[in-house]
Amino acid sequence: AGCWHQCCPGRNNACWAPDAHRARCYCDSYCERTGDCCEDYHAACRLAAVGCAVGPWGPWSRCSSLCGVGSKARSRQVTVPPRHGGEPCPDLKQRRGCLGEHVTCGTAK
């Protein structure tokens, strides 16, 4: 038994194997904090781990409101998904406030 068949990112209680003494050992990246990793965790998971990689941020969208308070958004894409317990992906979307100032805003009644 051991982690050779599975490696999981984060804390995942379903990601375990029986150890040499028939007790549970874990193959999730959280096991490094709790000290209950399977003996082959580092060889099977950490050495083979691939962290997430993302591309650059895209442009901000237009303000959602022509006049007054609204929001803008932008996003980026995953270029390399995480594998074998590698670092998870950071946020892929951002949102921020904006103020719509269309030329017709001052003429609205």
- Say yes or no: 73 and 94 in one domain: yes
- Say yes or no: 1 and 39 in one domain: yes
- Say yes or no: 32 and 17 in one domain: yes
CA distance linking residue 32 with residue 70, whole number of Å: 44
CA distance linking residue 44 with residue 41, whole number of Å: 5
- Number of structural domains the chain divides into: 2
pLDDT < 70: residue spans in the chain: 1, 48, 84-85, 107-109
- Say yes or no: 6 and 32 in one domain: yes
Length of the chain, in residues = 109
Does the pTM surpass 0.75? The reply is no
Residue 102's pLDDT is: 80
- Say yes or no: 64 and 44 in one domain: no
